[in-house]
A and B are shown apart, each in its own frame.
Chain A
C-alpha cells in the first residue's frame, strides 16, 4: 500500500515535470536567458504554496497520514558548501538541461541518452563522497 502511494506520487511528479516543460532543456536555456516568465512562475507558485503548507503544518502541529508528528529539521548553516556546491550544480544543470528529477522523467518519455546523464550524475555523487573531507564546507 505504502509502496504504491510513493509510486503514485512519483507518477504525478513525473507527469507534472513533463507537462510543465520543466524537464525540457529548452525551458532551462530560456530561463537562464531571462526570456520567459514560465520557469519562474512554476518555481514561484510552488514555493509560495510550499511556504503556506509548511506554515500551516507547523502552526497546527499537523500529523502525517500515519499519525506521526511532522518535524522539519533546519539545514545546517554554512556559506561555502551551499555556494560552491550550488555553482557546480548550476553549471551542470544548464549544460545537461536537466536536474535530478527530470532526468528520470525524460528516460521514461523516451530520451534514452539521459541514461548517460544519470550514470555520470551517480559517478559525480560518488566522487563527491570520496573527496568530501578535502573540500571546504
Chain B
C-alpha cells in the first residue's frame, strides 16, 4: 500500500497510459481527450451556426464518459491514494521558481500562487492558457493523448510534427514569456 500512496514512478505511469491506449483500441475507439472539447461545443449548440460542430455528439458519448472517469479518478487519487500533496520536482526547478515567487511545490500539487489565489491576473492567465490549448489542439487535430501517445505509437509523421510544435510552443512560453508574466 505504501507504494501506491507515494507518487508513481515514470515506468509504472508510462505502462498504465499504454494500458489505457490498449483498452480503448480494444473497445473499438481511439485515445484522444481534446475531441471532448469539440463535443462540448456541439452540445452547447455550436452546430447551429458552424458546420465544424455539426455531428451527432452521441457518437462521442463514450469519450465524454472517459472524461467523467478522469474527473472521478482525480478525486479518488487525491483523496484516497495520496499521503503527500507536494510534488518532488528537482532542486534546480525549485530554485528557478523562487525567482517567480512560486514556492508551494512542497505543499501543493499545483502552485497555490496561481491556481488557488483568485486574482484578476490569475484568472486571465488560466483563461488565456485554456483558450490556447483548446484552439491549438483542434487546429493540430489532437493533443498530448491523440498525437504524442496515439499518433506516435502509430508512427505517424504528422503527430511527430505536432509534438515538435508542442515543444516549440512550450519552450517559447517558459523561456521567453514567463519572465514577463511572473
Q: Which residues of A contact B (CB under 8 A)?
A: 2-3, 5-33, 35-51, 53-54, 57, 64-66, 68, 70, 72, 74-79, 81-101, 103-111, 113-114, 116-130, 132, 135
Contacts and interface: CB of A to CB of B under 8 A. Distances in A.
Given A43-B14, A65-B26, A89-B166, 6 more contacts: A15-B81, A84-B140, A103-B130, A108-B71, A111-B109, A121-B134
Given A13-B70, A54-B154, A88-B139, A96 B129 contact: yes
28 contacts: A14-B73, A19-B8, A21-B7, A26-B89, A29-B174, A31-B170, A32-B170, A36-B89, A42-B14, A42-B17, A47-B153, A85-B141, A89-B133, A89-B165, A92-B134, A94-B169, A98-B129, A101-B70, A101-B143, A104-B74, A106-B110, A113-B115, A120-B127, A120-B131, A121-B37, A125-B40, A125-B41, A125-B134
B152 to A, nearest CB: 5
Contacts, number: 486
Interface residues of B, number: 122
- Main SS at interface, chain A: helix
A136 to B, nearest CB: 10
B contact face: mostly helix, strand, loop, or mixed: helix
B75 A117 contact: no
Contacts of B140: 81-82, 84-86, 88-89
Interface of B: 7-28, 30, 33-34, 36-38, 40-41, 44, 46, 49-50, 52-53, 62-63, 65-79, 81-82, 87, 89-90, 92-93, 96-97, 105, 109-111, 114-116, 118, 122-123, 125-141, 143-145, 147-159, 161-175, 177, 181
